[in-house]
Amino acid sequence: MDPTGWSIADFAEAYRNGATVTNVIDATLALLDAAPRGVLIGAPLRALARAEAAALDTSADRSRPLFGVPFVVKDNMDVAGQPTTAGCPGYEYVAAADATVVALLRAAGAIVVGKTNLDQFATGLVGTRSPYGTPPNTLDARLVPGGSSSGSAVAVALGLVPFALGTDTAGSGRVPAALNGIVGLKPTVGSVSTYGIVPAMRRFDCPSVFARKVADAALIAETVAVADPRDPFMRAARPAHPLRDAPVIGVPASWPNGLELSTSMREFFDESIARLEALGCGIVPVDIELLLETGALLYGSALVAERTTAVGEAVDKGIAGLDRVVATILARGHEMTAIDAYRVEYELTRLRAASAGMWDEIDVLALPTTPQTTTLAEVELDPFGRNEMLGRLTTFVNLLDLAAIVVPMGDHDAPVPAGLQLIAPDWQDAELARLAESFESGAPIGSRLQRCTLVVVGAHLRGLPLHHQLTDRRATFGGTARTTADYRLYALAGTVPAKPGLVRVAAGDGAEIEVELWSMGESEFGSFVDAVPAPLSIGTIQLADGRSYRGFLCEQIGLEGAVDITEFGGWRAYIAEQG
């Protein structure tokens, strides 16, 4: 039996066909025994894995969703009775209990078979900052494997296990996925417990998932997204807007100065965007300058003191096995003052507000995960600069409270060390996975909601005070239009903000009125209609080109004190005249 490269479904099929969990796990342990140096920290968890396999073989309940599926975890996560090192020998302790994410997976029937290497204290994106060795890049031995979740990514890329856990604060769950040609899923911060995980930056830490298929990564992320009262940084989920039927993908309008994409990365990215467009997505250019400015704060401001808070005491003591580069980074936190900390918090608040409007126009932002690759030799010569380069397109994501997933770019039959990073607002995890699966399979993204078109007449027009009620519902602009000449337009009295009233009149007694068309899902349309105040209502509006849609009309009772402004031909022309 050789389970190399098996998916979660492959393990389930093997058990349906009579394979024992003991045999499958023994075969997996043999793969781990032969793993390259630097993938694992310590030996495979042989005794623990075999004991759990034997228990499952004698269990009458085979309904658990991850029954007998092996996995590995980054060694900053606790596994009961096993050492946790966080990549530093002098920091080692034996865990009293499982980290919450590990416990949830084991409860679902999965079997933890090893602990994986990492950039020490999860501080780095290169995968070389560990006294336990450097895992090999599975696609090009000259390249770094990426970090900090280096061992977890390489274990999955080699096919040793179907999925692995990592963590992601600055890109640690995305960069190594991209550089090894696999899937890396980073959930919304606060949706998955970090209890039992050695912190890097507690506010921004997030467990992440590596897999070879999007469906496997999404299943694991769903399994571990369970409320945990022991983690005070967890948050209650809020409803997520579904993607538009034709998702709107933002791409950089230009590449900012200092961000150098390699020729191959640019080619892979352009091909990926063309693939998304062929799947039915709309492509919109956006400015990413503010995003990069935000990301630069993670290591280039007083925020680094948060890393020092997490493990700085161990570094100050000079414990055994400290990585020189990591120790230098963590020591910088002592140079920061409380004033520095408040300044960066104010700046981060400004940047969050300034960049939020981007999501009114797009569903998802698409970026390369890294601007280019880097070799082991280049990192040896320039450990800080090359690490910074790898994170230019990832470090802003958690600071801005966004969700992300990485899927391989290039020819799917010939993996390349490049990943397409799909990013969306918090709690959009399931929608991102749906889009990523479409990209992965090449199947057009399916529509789950019938779209409803709305005729907008007044304060909801683009740029006007109530327009946000449309963008909050992810409405899509369908262009401008004119009604038939059977309508009159009035400026209503006493409305705040000012609103017009559109009234249907006898044929020939009105004029064509300029309107905008916006479409949204049925549930969004329903919530919108519920919020329409009297004397306005939603009725059927006839357009000059023969189409008809639901839109804003006004009851006769609302015209008391109103001013007839039909001659202006539309609300926007009227308010422009008012100054």
For 259-296, what is each residue's pLDDT tens digit? Answer: 989 999 999 999 999 999 999 999 999 999 999 999 99
Q: What CATH number should be reported for the domain holding residue 551? A: 3.10.490.10
Asked if residue 472 and residue 402 are part of one domain, the reply reads: no
Asked if residue 565 and residue 498 are part of one domain, the reply reads: yes
Q: What CATH number should be reported for the domain holding residue 249? A: 3.90.1300.10
Asked if residue 465 and residue 419 are part of one domain, the reply reads: no
User: 172, 208, 272, 519: which one is catalytic?
Assistant: 172
Asked if residue 248 and residue 300 are part of one domain, the reply reads: yes
Q: Show which of 441, 476, 505 is a domain's final residue.
A: 441
For 412-435, what is the mean pLDDT? 92
The C-alpha R_g of the chain, in whole angstroms, comes to: 27
DSSP string, 389-423: HHTTTTTHHHHTTEEEEEEE-S-TTS--S-EEEEE
| Higher-confidence position of 557 and 402 | 402
The total domain count for the chain is 2
Asked if residue 130 and residue 56 are part of one domain, the reply reads: yes
> What pLDDT, on the 0 to 100 scale, is given for residue 58?
95
- Whether the predicted pLDDT of 449 surpasses 60: no
172 is catalytic: yes
- Whether the predicted pLDDT of 537 surpasses 50: yes
**CB neighbours of residue 508 within 10 Å:** 8
What are the pLDDT digits (tens) for 128-162?
999 999 999 999 999 999 999 999 999 999 999 99
For 219-234, what is the mean pLDDT? 96
> What pLDDT, on the 0 to 100 scale, is given for residue 185?
98
User: 74, 115, 186, 499: which one is catalytic?
Assistant: 74
**CB neighbours of residue 444 within 10 Å:** 12
Q: Show which of 441, 469, 500 is a domain's final residue.
A: 441
Asked if residue 90 and residue 209 are part of one domain, the reply reads: yes
- Whether the predicted pLDDT of 189 surpasses 90: yes
CB 516 within 8 A of CB 479: yes
CA-to-CA distance for 155 and 162, rounded, in angstroms? 9
CB 314 within 8 A of CB 90: yes
Specify which of 36-50, 413-427, 512-526 reaches the highest per-range mean pLDDT: 36-50
The tokens 């919304």 sit on which residue? Answer: 188
CA-to-CA distance for 493 and 424, rounded, in angstroms? 41
Instruction: Kindly indicate the confidence band of residue 451, based on its pLDDT and cuts at 50, 70 and 90.
Output: low
SS3 of 521, please?
strand
What are the pLDDT digits (tens) for 71-124?
999 999 999 999 999 999 999 999 999 999 999 999 999 999 999 999 999 999
- Whether the predicted pLDDT of 450 surpasses 60: no
For 213-238, what is the mean pLDDT? 95
CA-to-CA distance for 78 and 106, rounded, in angstroms? 13
Q: Show which of 379, 406, 441 is a domain's final residue.
A: 441
- Whether the predicted pLDDT of 306 surpasses 70: yes
User: 148, 152, 191, 193: which one is catalytic?
Assistant: 148
In a domain, residue 2? The reply is no
Q: Which two tokens stand for residue 546?
A: 């023969």
Asked if residue 464 and residue 428 are part of one domain, the reply reads: no
Asked if residue 336 and residue 469 are part of one domain, the reply reads: no
In a domain, residue 446? The reply is no
Q: Which of 96, 421, 454 is nearest to 272 (CA)?
A: 421
| Higher-confidence position of 187 and 576 | 187
CA-to-CA distance for 180 and 154, rounded, in angstroms? 7
> What pLDDT, on the 0 to 100 scale, is given for residue 454?
92
For 15-29, what is the mean pLDDT? 96
Instruction: Kindly indicate the confidence band of residue 416, based on its pLDDT and cuts at 50, 70 and 90.
Output: very high
Distance (Å) of CA 425 to CA 223, 243, 291, 347, 472: 21, 11, 13, 20, 12
Asked if residue 35 and residue 136 are part of one domain, the reply reads: yes
| Parent domain of 214 | 8-234+242-441
Asked if residue 481 and residue 427 are part of one domain, the reply reads: no
Pairing mode, strands 514-521 and 451-456: antiparallel
Describe the crossing of helices 429-441 and 214-224 by its angle, rounded to 10 degrees: 160
What are the pLDDT digits (tens) for 51-68?
999 999 999 888 899 999
Q: Which of 9, 177, 155 is nearest to 72 (CA)?
A: 155
What are the pLDDT digits (tens) for 337-375?
999 999 999 999 999 999 999 999 999 999 999 999 999
What are the pLDDT digits (tens) for 485-527?
999 999 999 999 999 999 999 888 999 999 999 888 777 888 8
150 is catalytic: no
CA-to-CA distance for 110 and 23, rounded, in angstroms? 15
- Whether the predicted pLDDT of 447 surpasses 60: no
Instruction: Kindly indicate the confidence band of residue 220, based on its pLDDT and cuts at 50, 70 and 90.
Output: very high
Asked if residue 424 and residue 295 are part of one domain, the reply reads: yes
Asked if residue 248 and residue 279 are part of one domain, the reply reads: yes
In a domain, residue 397? The reply is yes
523 is catalytic: no
